[in-house]
Structure 1
Amino acid sequence: MFLGLPWKFYFSVLFLFLFTVLPNGLLLNLNINNAPKVYLPEDAPSVVIDGEVRRYFPSDQAVLLLFEGVALYSDGFVTAFNQLASTLAANPLIDDVMNITTQDHIHGTEDGFLVEPLVNVKALEKTRPSARKARVVSDRFAKNTLVAADGSALSMLVIPKPIGSSLERLALEDEILADVKAARLDGYLTGMAGQITTDVAQMRSMLRDNMLFIPATTVIGLFLIWWLFHRWLAVIVAGVVIGVVVSSTVAFYVIFNQPFNLISSIIPPLLSALTVAALVHLFNALHYASKRGLTGPDRVNSALREVRRPAFYTAMTTVAGLSSLGLSPIPPIKVFGLISATGVVLIYFVVIHLVPNIFSRFDYEPWPNRKTGLSGLDKLVSKLFRVGVRYPLYVVGSIGLLFVIFVPQVGNIVVETNLQEFFYPSHPLRKSTQHIEEKLVGTASLDVVFKAAERGGLKKPAILKEMRAFQHWAESLPEVDKSISMADFVEEMHWGFNAENPAFRRIPDNPALISQYLLVYDGDDLFDFVDEEYRITHISLNVNVHGANALSELMGQVRQYLGNRSLDGVEWEIAGFGRLFADQEDLLVEGQVKSLFGALVLIFLLMFIQWRSLGGALLCMIPNLSPILLIFIVMGLFGLWLDMATAMIASVAVGIAVDDTIHVYHGFISRVKQGVSPVVALVKTYRQAGRAVMTTTIILSAQFIVLTFSEFVPTTHFGLLTSIGLIAALLFDLLLLPAILIIIYSRHPAVVKQEPLFTKRSNGGDDGGV
């Protein structure tokens, strides 16, 4: 029965079928990676220096396990603890495991010093638990890192090899927990923290959100389409189109070998919402064509004449808003903007060029005209629009006054990123990290790297003394809990060599003696802090702050201190996770300015091209700049940070919000050019486009509101603020835009003839729908 149908129908069906099936195969190879380096350009100074440091020393991104309970120093526990460390060390993904049974301990002997395990499991019969506890607690390196100051808790630091995928990190954490359980130590495990653990917690949140929000936003969109149009054909087609758009767009991450991360996870609900919004405009036009008695191809052609041009420009403005994020120097935001913009192009192609072919074949039945759904929206649109038309000066003046009052709140916006604050206080990660930091030291880290010009240059007493002076200064800061360097090892060896006399726990003045100490040292831990040529070393700082601003301030103090010191022949630099994280802030601000400016310029140019009028383009920008300003006011008023997620809101919201303005202004200006008076043109435009504007905003807001149920704070803020921006854009389109148009066109002769429209109706007659 389909043989006589136009080829476009077959092409549309084949395209939708293929792009429903093929992307799913690609998605199996999706690289899910939320590692810190993903958020910085490869040539960023912090990435370069960190890469150099990691060629010599272990990663500072680790998993810290905290164990508490009775008999922590008993033979049974120590044996199981050591066996667990051995099991973990045998894992091919793990580089090193540190605990009290693997940590080097330096102590004095009759003829020098000896390096041996802090707790020697091979000689447990020679020591008692109380003696082991006393030795562990007094150890310079273990105290507050591997053991609580009072001995009530022990930790195990698991340092993985470089892992390029967050899914691998997730699997590694599961393996670690399984090994802990197999060792029967899970009852002692009271906390996990560290950069790997934080990344895994974010990954779990992302997976949960995707499993919850992708189907939720789809179901909400399909339900609203059914509620509005009561047309099963529309619901079925919408479901297929959403699947094609979302899966095909996400597949671009595989095609271009880009990591899929927390920023990327916003794409599915975003594109689902935009797809439904685009379909609503088409379905609304089909509904009107059906009311005029048109069927099949005639109905579809009539609808396309109404929506094709504004749909093209709304797609292009959304593309402009999203693609402007490509100006961000932060790779995940850049890739998100470009790929989601490609998804919007796909939405336009499918909705405007493929879906109509299907409706031309099957859409012959009249669209239901229910009193619920659409008619209810018509009444709400009419009430709001009526206020803007009747009281234009009051509307414009009131909105302007409110902005004048609240605009200063924008200055209260804080640019901040804090991975701990990304989770609610009740989240296990927050509680675990807080508990560990109370027992031990801060879990954030900074490395201060020193590089000597010559081999053995770091053995000089003067340099080692400068390192210790820096450590003393750093540990006096409230942000720094502890520091460790190669100078600590030299002091311990000098102390041990001199019969553990406290007066000798210092850097010796004799360089030959230092060289001799380093020569006879037969442990391993020293070389976690210095290379074998003694040309590059790092001081590890345990930091108790997690915010990018606090880390930046700390690095500023370090730079100022070291900049004022004399380090002959030695260069220094700051590295580590803390710097990687803090350096994102400058890029975040730079990206926000560039992307928002780029979005506004591109959208303005597109509207100038569309309307061929400078005034028309400027006019359409007003109701769309207002929601963006409102978003920033809300952020400043309620103390919401400008972070990775909220940095994208302005560009995303302005790209979406302008869509409704284009549909309204296109309908208005088209009718005015045909000779219709401005007031009547407004009435007819809002009768048709107002419904679609209201509908799309409800759908978009409902789907973004769902994101507020996320356990991940940035996702919650993104959903909330985007919804606020879209609702504000709707109110400005229904109140501010008609008020501005009435003021601008008030000198038009036709307005005078329609003067009764500006007064309340004295009877039940029709005043044109205002």
Structure 2
Amino acid sequence: MNRLRALYDRLILPHPVVVLTVFGLLLGLAAVKFGEFRLDASAESLVLEDDRSLEQYRKVHRRFTTSDDFLIVTYTPKRELFSEQGLDHLRALRDELQALDAVGSTNSILNVPLLHSPDLTLDTVDSEIKTIDADNVPPETAREALLNNPLYPNLLISEDAKTTAIQVNLPTPERYFELLQQRNELRDKVAGGKASDAERAQLETVRQTFIDYTGKLGQERDATIATVRTILDRYRDQAEIHLGGVPMIVSDMIRFIQNDLSTFGFGVLAFLLLTLAIIFRQWRWVLIPTLCCGFTVWLMVGFLGWAQWPVTVISANFIALLLIMTLSLTIHLIVRYREFQHDEPEADPKDSLRKTVMAMIKPCFYMAVTTIVAFGSLTFSGIRPVIDFGWMMTLGLTVAFLITFIIFPALLRILPPPLDKSVLSNRIPFTDVFASFTERFGKTVLVGSAAIAILCAVGVSKLTVENSFIDYFKSSTEIHQGMITIDNRLGGTTPLDIVITDEKPPENATTDSDPFASGCDPFAEDCGGEEEYRDTWYTYQKMQKLEKVHNYLDSLPETGKVLSITSTLDILALINQGERLDALELAFVPAAVPDDLQDVLLTPYISEEHDQARFSVRILETMPELRRQALLDRIHSHLTNELDYDEDQVLFAGMTVMYNNMLQSLFDSQIKTIGAVFLAIMAMFLLLFRSFKMALIGIAPNLIAAGSVLGLMGWLGIPLDMMTITVAAITVGIAVDDTIHYLHRFKTEFAKDGDYLATMHRCHRSIGRAMFYTSLTIIAGFSILVLSNFIPTIYFGLFTGFAMFMALLGALTLLPRLIVMVKPFGPGASA
């Protein structure tokens, strides 16, 4: 401590202008990279650490020539859709969308092939299939043809034919996939320790190129989506129109993050200014803490720009949190400084400042370390955005601590606050009411705390992780409205791909592709045996088995539209005068389907090159009983047990899988993070107070604070999600600050007279007031999060504010009651 005092006396307190000048240069350096600060709401930012589901998702889509890179425009005209006027209006909208440079193509009821010609057969399919665009098809005939086609109902048209959809394809350039593959290959080499120095350098170059390229693509896509919205607005007077699709959701998520950053940043800053003005009523006590908060955020934004570290949906709250945490540190210094002013009004401001810094640096250091540990524990979660959030806040809190104990004293040396009436007043602070209550109703405090603990435990047992992606957004947002329309009328929102790999033939099996090679009559019989191992999917037995899979998936209440090669065979059966294709006709399906329909009817569902068949399933997100993991387990069990596919033949991919993987990790993550936090806090208490008894006393109110928020979520039926998983760990990290400050001050004050009750009252009148101010500031700051359009962010703000209230209540009642009861500092003078 003497060395630290000497450091302040030599460098910081005598030379505040020099300190601030050097710091100004650092701020300028950080500002250079403000333009590199970026936001990311891509699928890659929302997956588990080392989760291969994203890679599988991309591989499946490239292998089957499909993609989720499209917008869906739902269109419900106010008048009849299938009329000349109704179709002309839809065509005009489609043409405007298709004319955009970024749009590769569009799919709608206007250009898809119809099956209505009486002359249509398997032999004439190439010439007789018509479209509304190219042929003079009467609207009513087109309506019936679309509804009778297995592909289109609940996909491009609702079953009542009142709602249709335009699929606006936004193809991702091949350059993106080339850079992605190059980056991933180099990254795997580096991770495996097999990369040379040249390859390590190349990785940095490729990584930067990929970031720049994706940023450019993102800007272009945002501009395209904005233009699409402008076009849609011109048609809303004649139809109910909603926009959906993965690119739109990503774009809107980024827009929400941007709004949250600005809203929370300025909103929290306004709350802080108001709080400081009300509490301290001096402009210096408003300006100096505000500058410290602003400097912390400034440096972190600059660092994230230098490090090319994107902010995600989860870490978007880091600005609000850093503002609040920095202010919490500065308020403790302000309150202590004013206490020294009260005790020694004639003292030199420099001496009061030195005493303040020396008195507060130790508890604030432990406070910062425990909060850093709380956020650092999030790195155990296994969820990429949560891990990033933990590291960002760990660095940010380190910066906040350094600024508080370097820049705050330097600013205060230049702008020493004068004495005022509130400082010199001897009025007992209102926080002493808590001390009086604890003294008079000690048993009530203990019984009440035990009752709350029991309620928390029951509530925690009710926690779940199942929630719908649609519930993340307010009902007023276009994402929410579009999802409801697509779910209810167009076959479901969230994609799930089920890929089945063909069984490898035994070494002694024949693979004769001639359907007449055996004595079996393929026209009349199911030619199993040898045919089973023929090197093609288009055999009678394999297609029968795939049809069973399709029918099972279609029968599930959680699924909407199901597409597979069975859908194609149903279409071909219609063309074939309602007759199912026999074994010989199946063998010639690839040749019978015209080239321009291959990408519609075959390649999305069968990959002969990779011996795989794909089922495209849409999950109904609005279904209240949706349980993703149970659904996936049920499907897997049916395919492996009932239909006899091997484990390694069945692969699940798609957004549903990635989202489910993240949800299922939440319980495990919660246990890991909370466990890591409490172990670290116990270690801090043992190190700080050298007493296991003190460590247990300090943990008690924090357990109740963390348990209260999780228990309340359980009782209210609110599931854990990407944001609320962090609340408990963060709450403990922040709430323990009050515990550390109170115990440290209690130890100091107890040494004066050895009277537990008198010490409790003195602590409530001094550090208790600072605890109340900081908690009030944090609760007020977090309340601004209710303005978000992202529901988990709203929950995060509300539950963290509630947890901080419970932590303050525990620190001012249960904690002193346990200290008075257990007497960890010795018997005391009263003994």
Does the 8 Å CA contact 2:289/2:408 hold for their aligned counterparts? no
The equivalent of 1:627 in structure 2 is: 705
User: Please, which moves more after superposition, 607-616 or 532-541?
Assistant: 532-541
What is the identity, as a one-letter code, of the residue corresponding to 1:400? Answer: A
Matched, 1:258 2:309: yes
What is the identity, as a one-letter code, of the residue corresponding to 2:550? Answer: Q
Does the 8 Å CA contact 1:40/1:47 hold for their aligned counterparts? yes
1:437: how far off? 2.7
Matches within 5 A, 1:139-154: 139-154=149-164
Deviation by residue 1:103-144 (Cα, 9 ceiling, x = unmatched): 2446763671415797635544x3322222222222221122
| Pair 1:361–1:429, CA change in 2 (3 A) | closer
The equivalent of 2:631 in structure 1 is: 554
The equivalent of 1:98 in structure 2 is: 107
| Pair 1:151–1:105, CA change in 2 (3 A) | same
Q: Name stretches of at least 5 consecutive residues in structure 2 with no aligned partner.
A: 1-10, 177-213, 505-533
| Pair 1:570–1:598, CA change in 2 (3 A) | closer
Matched, 1:517 2:525: no
Matched, 1:489 2:568: yes
The equivalent of 1:348 in structure 2 is: 401
The equivalent of 1:199 in structure 2 is: 250
Deviation by residue 1:473-529 (Cα, 9 ceiling, x = unmatched): 111111122211123223423542x3xx22x14564655333543577754313233
Q: Name the CA distance, whole Å, in 2 between partners of 1:491 and 1:737.
A: 71
The equivalent of 1:54 in structure 2 is: 61
The equivalent of 1:590 in structure 2 is: 668
| Pair 1:258–1:749, CA change in 2 (3 A) | closer
From 286, 292, 313, the equivalent of 1:235 is 286
The equivalent of 2:187 in structure 1 is: none
The equivalent of 1:177 in structure 2 is: 229
Does the 8 Å CA contact 1:26/1:254 hold for their aligned counterparts? yes
Q: Name the CA distance, whole Å, in 2 between partners of 1:585 and 1:393.
A: 41
The equivalent of 1:360 in structure 2 is: 413
From 36, 52, 77, the equivalent of 1:29 is 36
Q: Name the CA distance, whole Å, in 1 between partners of 2:124 and 2:493.
A: 32
From 384, 400, 410, the equivalent of 2:434 is 384
Matches within 5 A, 1:192-591: 192-291=243-342, 292-293=344-345, 294-363=347-416, 365-369=418-422, 379-405=429-455, 407-452=457-502, 457-496=536-575, 498=576, 501-502=577-578, 504-505=579-580, 508=583, 511-518=586-593, 522-526=597-601, 527-531=603-607, 533=609, 535-545=611-621, 550-564=627-641, 565-567=643-645, 571-591=649-669
Does the 8 Å CA contact 1:213/1:706 hold for their aligned counterparts? yes
| Pair 1:462–1:248, CA change in 2 (3 A) | farther
What TM-score does the superposition give when structure 1 sets the normalisation length?
0.89
What is the identity, as a one-letter code, of the residue corresponding to 2:60? Answer: V
The equivalent of 1:768 in structure 2 is: none
What is the identity, as a one-letter code, of the residue corresponding to 1:480? Answer: T
Does the 8 Å CA contact 2:456/2:712 hold for their aligned counterparts? no
Q: Name stretches of at least 5 consecutive residues in structure 1 with no aligned partner.
A: 754-770
What is the identity, as a one-letter code, of the residue corresponding to 1:112? Answer: D
Does the 8 Å CA contact 1:16/1:241 hold for their aligned counterparts? no
What is the identity, as a one-letter code, of the residue corresponding to 1:542? Answer: R
1:326: how far off? 1.1
Root-mean-square deviation (CA), in Å? 3.1
Matched, 1:645 2:697: no
What is the identity, as a one-letter code, of the residue corresponding to 2:763? Answer: T
User: Please, which moves more after superposition, 693-702 or 195-204?
Assistant: 195-204
Q: Name the CA distance, whole Å, in 1 between partners of 2:390 and 2:776.
A: 24
Q: Name the CA distance, whole Å, in 1 between partners of 2:99 and 2:167.
A: 15
1:172: how far off? 3.4
| Pair 1:528–1:331, CA change in 2 (3 A) | same
Deviation by residue 1:341-378 (Cα, 9 ceiling, x = unmatched): 1111111100112210221233162245279xx989x5
What TM-score does the superposition give when structure 2 sets the normalisation length?
0.83
From 131, 135, 149, the equivalent of 1:120 is 131
Matched, 1:679 2:761: no
1:415: how far off? 1.5
Deviation by residue 1:63-84 (Cα, 9 ceiling, x = unmatched): 2211122353455654564565
Does the 8 Å CA contact 1:388/1:395 hold for their aligned counterparts? yes
Q: State the percentage of identical aligned residues.
A: 20
Q: Name the CA distance, whole Å, in 2 between partners of 1:433 and 1:381.
A: 50
Matched, 1:10 2:17: yes
Q: Secondary structure at the match of 2:693?
A: helix
Q: Secondary structure at the match of 2:168?
A: strand
What is the identity, as a one-letter code, of the residue corresponding to 2:142? Answer: R
Q: Name the CA distance, whole Å, in 2 between partners of 1:603 and 1:538.
A: 50
Q: Name the CA distance, whole Å, in 2 between partners of 1:546 and 1:554.
A: 15
From 657, 660, 672, the equivalent of 2:735 is 657
Number of residue-to-residue matches in the alignment: 741
From 142, 146, 152, the equivalent of 1:132 is 142
| Pair 1:563–1:92, CA change in 2 (3 A) | farther
| Pair 1:95–1:577, CA change in 2 (3 A) | farther
Matched, 1:41 2:48: yes
What is the identity, as a one-letter code, of the residue corresponding to 1:399? Answer: S
